[in-house]
Chains A and B, each alone.
Chain A
C-alpha cells in the first residue's frame, strides 16, 4: 500500500489495521509465554507430584493460575462490606456460592481475577528437553556396539536396478561426462543410468528393554509405590531420547514374582516378606525367554525399601550379577519414606558390591518427591560415565559367582 497509488490505498483502507492485528492476542501470547517460563523454572517441583503424568498421551497437564499483575491492595478483611441492590431487607441472610470459590479479589471491573485456571499441556518431549538442558544432563549416546541385528542400507550404485532407485542426479552427471566426448549422443542412454544399491549390514542395537522391578511386599506403602512410579516414568522418558524403540517390562515381587502390564503394576499390593532373588530370577527368566542381550540394550531399575531377607543374600547376589553382566545399566532406588538409612540395607549392599566390582550400576535413596530429580540426574550422569562397552558383549565378567 503506497501513497502514490490511491486506488490501492482505497482498497486497503477497506481492511482497517485493527482487523489485521490483535493487540489483545499479542499480549495474551506474551502472558502464556510468561506462564510457560514460570512453569519451566519450577518444572521439577511441579511434575514431581506424580499426578500430572498422563499415561496414554505424550503430554503432561499442569494446572496453572492466570498470572496476576500485582498492585498494592488492602488486606482482605474478615468481613467485606459492600452495596447491593434488589429485594432485600435488613437482617436478611443469604449465601453466595460464587464468593467462597477462592481467594481471588474482586477487581475494579467486578471480575474475580484469579478464579480462572488454565490447564496447560506440555509435551513430554519438550519437558525432557528442558530438563536435560536445565539439569545439564548429558545426552546419552546410544551404546552402538556391534550386534546381531542387520538391516538393509544404501550402498553404491549400479547400472541396473529397480526404477524406484534411479539416482537422477548421479545419472545426469554421467550424461554430462559422456557428452563431453566428441560425437556422443546428446540424450540419455541406458549407459548413463545409475541405480542405488542396497546391502545388508549389521546395525548397532537401537532397541532397548527396560525392566522395572518393584518390591510390593507389605512394607511398601502407597507413597513408596508412587515415588517409584514417578521415578520410573522419568527414567523411561530419559531413555526414550536415546533409543528408537523402547520396551518396558514390569515385574513385581514379594517372596514370589510376577510380570504385570503397566496399569496393574502400580496397583499391585502384596503381603509377606521380601525376597529379591525371586524378582531377579524372574527378570533373568524373561530375558532368556524373550530377549537376546546381543540385540537389545537391557536396563534394570529396581525399587524397594531394601528389607531383603538376610537368607536371600547369596541367591540375590548371584541373580543380580548374572543380569548385570548382560545389562547396560542396573539401578536401584531405595524408597524409604522417612527412614534415612540411606542404602545401608541388605539390597543396598548388594548393589554397592556391584558398583564396587566395576559394573555399570548405581543406587539412590528416594525419601521424597523432591528427590526424584536427584535420582534421575544421578542415574543419567552415572549412565553416561559408565565405561564404553560396559555392556557385556565381551568376556568381561565382573562378578564371578
Chain B
C-alpha cells in the first residue's frame, strides 16, 4: 500500500480537533488482511491462545471467502490509541477510515462507561493483553498445555460473567459479620460482670463468620478466582486475566450502536468538510461510506438484523439536527446503548428507517409483528442485556466446598440451555475441584438442578 494517506492524517486530525472532537493521539499502522482478520477474531492484537479462537478463525475465513465481510480498520482505545488499517485499503478508504478512527477515539476518551473501564483496566489494554498472553505461554511451559487449556476452557466460558459495577481490583468479602452479636444483657451477665469484669468485657463476644458469598454474586470469574477451594495460583491468575479483558470488552460491547454510529457520523461530516481531499478520492470515499452504513445488503429487500452502523449513524444525524452538537456530545458522554436507543430512537425515525419486529418460528417462518416502539427498543437491545449472557450467580458454598450456582430465570424469561450449561459446569468443575450445582427452570417452569460431576 502506498503511504499517500499518511499525509492526510495530520490534516484530518486538525479538522477533527477544530470540529470539537477531543481525542488521545492515535498510532496508525497498516497491516496485512490476514492480521486484520486475526485482530477481529481475538478482539485484541495479541491475546491468549485458545482453541475456541481457532473456531472463530475458521468462521471468519469462510465468511471472508464468501465475500461477506471486509475489515477496513480496528481501533483500540487508550493513550495513545492504536488503529490498524488493512493495507489493502485504497487511498479513499484510508481517508475515510482515518476520520472514522478519530470518531472512535473521541468516543472512547469521553464516554463515561469507557472512561470508567479504562480507569480500571488502564489505558494500555493492548499491552496488558499481550502480557497476559505471555504469562499464559509461560504457564503452558511450566504446567503443560492440557492443564492450562482446562483453566482457559473454564475462564473463557465465563468471560461474560463479570460484574462491571464493581471495581476491577475488588476486595474480598469481609470475613466476619459486622455487628458481633452482643450477648443478651440479662441478670446472669450482670452478676458475672460484677465478679469478673475483664472476662465479661472481652472474652464472650462472638464474632460470626460471614457466609460466602454474602449475597448472590454475579462476578463468577472473580468469585471463582478468590474462593475456589483448591485452585492453584496460576489458575487464579488466568481467571483474573480473562476478567480484566472482559472489563475492557464490556464498553465496546455495550456501546456498539452509539460508538459505530458516532464514528460514522464523524467520518461523513469530516469528509464533507475536508476540502483538501482530491475530488476522485472524495467520491470513492462517499461510495465506501454508503456501503458501510447501508441498512440492508444491496440485493436484499429486508434484513433480519440491524446494521449498527446505519442505525447509530441515522440516530446521531437526527439528534445533531434537532438538538445541536452540544446536546449530542453530552448524550455521547453519558449514555450507553440502552439509554441511547430507549431515549432517542423515536417512532418517526423507526418508521423512516423501516425498523420492524419479527417473530421467527423454528420451521423458518417469519412473521412481522405490529409496530410497538417500546417493544422494538427491547428487541434491538435484547441481545445486549448482561453482556449477552444469562444471569447466573454464585449463591452459596456448602461446607464440603460444593458450589451452588443459580440462574435468574425470572429476569431472563426462560431457563438455560441444559446441554450447554452442563458442559460449562464440566469446564468449571475441573478448576473448582468440588461438586457444582446449578439451579434453573425447565420448559414447564419448574425448578431443575444440574450437577457436575
Counting CB contacts under 8 A, is B37 at the interface? yes
Give the contacting residue for A23; candidates B49, B305, B369, B376; CB below 8 A.
Answer: B49
Cα separation A78 to B414 with both chains bound (whole Å): 11
Given contacts A31-B54, A100-B364, contact A80 B359 (CB under 8 A): yes
Q: Scan residues 331-367 of chain B and give those whose CB is less than 8 A from a CB of chain A.
A: 353-367
Measured CB to CB, the nearest residue on chain A to B62 is A116
Tell me the nearest residue of chain B to A16, going by C-beta. B31
Q: Which residues of A contact B53 (CB under 8 A)?
A: 23-24, 27
| Cβ–Cβ contact B365 & A81, under 8 A | no
Give the residues in chain A near B54, CB-CB below 8 Å: 24, 26-32
Task: Name the interface residues of B119-141: CB closer than 8 Å to any CB of A.
Answer: none
Interface 1/0s, chain A 38-81, versus B by CB < 8 A? Answer: 00000000000000000000000000001111111111111111
Contact of B301 among A72, A87, A97 (CB under 8 A): A87
Query: Which of these binds chain A: B19-27, B94-102, B260-268, B416-424?
Result: B416-424
Tell me if A82 and B388 are in contact (CB < 8 A): no
Q: Give the distance to chain B from A72, nearest Cβ to Cβ, in Å.
A: 5
Task: Give the one of A25, A77, A82 with max B CB within 10 A.
Answer: A82
Interfacial chain B residues near A73, Cβ < 8 Å: 389-390, 416-417, 420-421
In the complex, whether A113 has a CB less than 8 A from a CB of chain B is yes
Interface membership of chain A positions 65-107, coded 1 if the CB is closer than 8 angstroms to chain B and 0 otherwise: 0111111111111111111111111111111111110000000
The answer to whether B360 and A96 touch across the interface, beta carbons within 8 angstroms, is yes
**Docked-complex contact B34 and A75, CB < 8 angstroms:** no
B412: CB under 8 A from chain A? yes
The answer to whether B63 touches A28, judged by C-beta atoms less than 8 angstroms apart, is no
User: Out of A30, A74, A83, which one reaches B416, CB within 8 Å?
Assistant: A74
Q: Does any Cβ of A come within 8 Å of B296's Cβ?
A: yes
Contact across chains for B414 and A71 when beta carbons are under 8 A apart? no
Contact B51 A72 (CB under 8 A): no
Question: Is A113 a contact partner of B55 (Cβ separation < 8 A)?
Answer: yes
Count of residues in B whose CB is under 8 Å from the partner chain: 84
Contact present for B356 and A84 (CB under 8 Å): yes
Residues A108 and B55 in contact, CB atoms below 8 Å apart:
no
Pick from A92, A95, A108: contact of B364, CB below 8 A: A95
Name the contact of A70 in the complex, choosing from B35, B311, B427 (C-beta under 8 A). Answer: B427
- Which of B177-185, B280-288, B378-386 forms part of the interface with chain A? B378-386
Residues on B with C-beta less than 8 A from A19 are 32, 35
Q: Is B295 interfacial (CB-CB < 8 Å)?
A: yes
Contact, CB under 8 Å: A72 / B57: no
Candidates B364, B388, B413; contact of A96 at CB < 8 Å: B364
Q: Is the CB of A83 within 8 A of B306?
A: yes
Question: Are A93 and B367 within 8 A (Cβ)?
Answer: yes
Chain A residues with Cβ below 8 Å from B296 are 85-86
A396 interface residue per 8 A CB criterion: no
Does A22 interact with chain B (Cβ within 8 Å)? yes
Given contact pairs A69-B52, A73-B417, A79-B359, A84 touches B153 in the complex (Cβ within 8 A): no
A123 within 8 A of B: no
Within 8 Å by CB of B302, from A72, A74, A87, A108, lies A87
Contact B306 A75 (CB under 8 A): no
- Kindly report which residue of chain B lies nearest to residue A94, judged by CB atoms: B366
From known contacts A24-B41, A71-B160, A90-B368, infer whether A84 and B57 are also in contact, taking CB-CB under 8 Å.
no
B78 contacts chain A at the CB level, 8 A cutoff: no
Q: Judge whether A34 is part of the interface by a CB distance below 8 angstroms.
A: yes
Cβ of B415 within 8 Å of any chain A Cβ, yes or no, is: yes
A87 to B49 CA separation, bound complex (whole angstroms): 44
Of A26, A32, A72, which is within 8 A of B424 by CB? A72
Smallest CB gap from B392: residue in A:
A72
The answer to whether the Cβ of B42 comes within 8 Å of any Cβ in the partner chain is: yes
Using CB atoms, name the residue of chain B closest to A81: B359
| Contact indicator B51/A84 (Cβ below 8 Å) | no
- On chain B, the residues within 8 Å of A108 by CB distance are 383, 388
Interface centre among B52, B353, B424 (most CB of A within 10 A): B52
Chain B residues with CB under 8 Å of A28's CB are: 54-55, 57-58
A82 and B353 form a contact (CB under 8 A): no
Q: Which of B53, B161, B307, B310 has the most CB of A within 10 A?
A: B53
Contacts of A98 in B (CB 8 A): 364
CB distance from B158 to the nearest CB of A (A): 8
Cα distance, A183 to B31, chains bound together (Å): 74
B192 within 8 A of A: no
Contact with A along B26-65 (1 / 0, CB 8 A): 0000011011011001100011011111110111101100
Residues from chain B with a CB closer than 8 A to the CB of A88 are: 302, 354, 356, 358, 368
| Contact A18-B157, Cβ < 8 Å, known A24-B57, A81-B379, A83-B376 | no
Q: Does B167 contact A (CB under 8 A)?
A: no
Residue-wise interface mask of B (211-238) relative to A, using a CB-CB cutoff of 8 A (1 in contact, 0 not)? 0000000000000000000000000000
- B193: CB under 8 A from chain A? no
Known contacts A84-B356, A85-B356; A99/B371 CB under 8 A: no
Asked if B304 is at the interface (CB within 8 A of a chain A CB), the reply is yes
Contact among B35, B58, B153, B415 with A18 in the assembled complex (CB-CB below 8 Å): B35
C-alpha gap A31/B57 in the complex (Å)? 10
Q: Is A111 an interface residue (CB 8 A)?
A: yes
The CA of A69 and the CA of B382, in the complex, are separated in Å by 22
| Residues 413 to 447 of chain B near chain A (Cβ within 8 Å) | 413-418, 420-421, 423-424, 427, 443
Query: Are B306 and A100 interface neighbours, CB within 8 A?
Result: no
Residues of A within 8 A of B321 (CB): none
Instruction: Tell me the nearest residue of chain A to B389, going by C-beta.
Output: A72
Q: How far is the CA of A67 from the CA of B153 in the complex (A)?
A: 12
- Whether B112 is near chain A, meaning CB under 8 Å from some CB there, is no
Contact between chains at B389 and A116 (CB < 8 Å): no
A401 at interface (Cβ–Cβ under 8 A)? no
Q: How far is the CA of A68 from the CA of B422 in the complex (A)?
A: 13
Contacts of A84 in B (CB 8 A): 302-306, 355-358, 368
Chain A residues numbered 382-398 whose CB sits less than 8 Å from any CB in chain B: none
Given A30-B54, A70-B424, A93-B367, also A76-B306 (CB < 8 A): no
A110 within 8 A of B: yes
The answer to whether B295 touches A86, judged by C-beta atoms less than 8 angstroms apart, is yes
B300 interface contact, C-beta 8 A: yes
Residue of B nearest to A71 (CB): B157
CA A270 to CA B303, docked complex, whole Å: 58
Please tell me if B15 contacts chain A, counting CB pairs below 8 Å: no
A306 to B422 Cα, complex, angstroms: 46
CA distance A116 to B55 in the complex (A): 10
Contact of B51 among A16, A31, A83, A97 (CB under 8 A): A31
Alpha-carbon separation in the docked complex, A82 to B58 (Å): 26
13 contacts between A and B (CB under 8 A): A30-B54, A31-B52, A66-B58, A71-B420, A72-B407, A76-B417, A80-B359, A84-B355, A85-B302, A86-B354, A88-B354, A94-B302, A95-B365
Q: Given A23-B42, A24-B53, A72-B417, 9 other A-B contacts at CB below 8 A? A: A18-B35, A24-B34, A31-B54, A31-B55, A81-B359, A82-B304, A83-B376, A85-B353, A86-B354
**B residues neighboring A (CB under 8 Å):** 31-32, 34-35, 37-38, 41-42, 46-47, 49-55, 57-60, 62-63, 153, 156-161, 295-296, 300-307, 310-311, 353-371, 376, 379-380, 382-383, 388-390, 392, 407, 412-418, 420-421, 423-424, 427, 443
The 4 A-B pairs of least Cβ separation, nearest first, read A86-B302, A27-B54, A69-B52, A100-B364
User: CB within 8 Å of B: which residues of A?
Assistant: 16, 18-19, 22-32, 34, 66-100, 108, 110-111, 113, 116
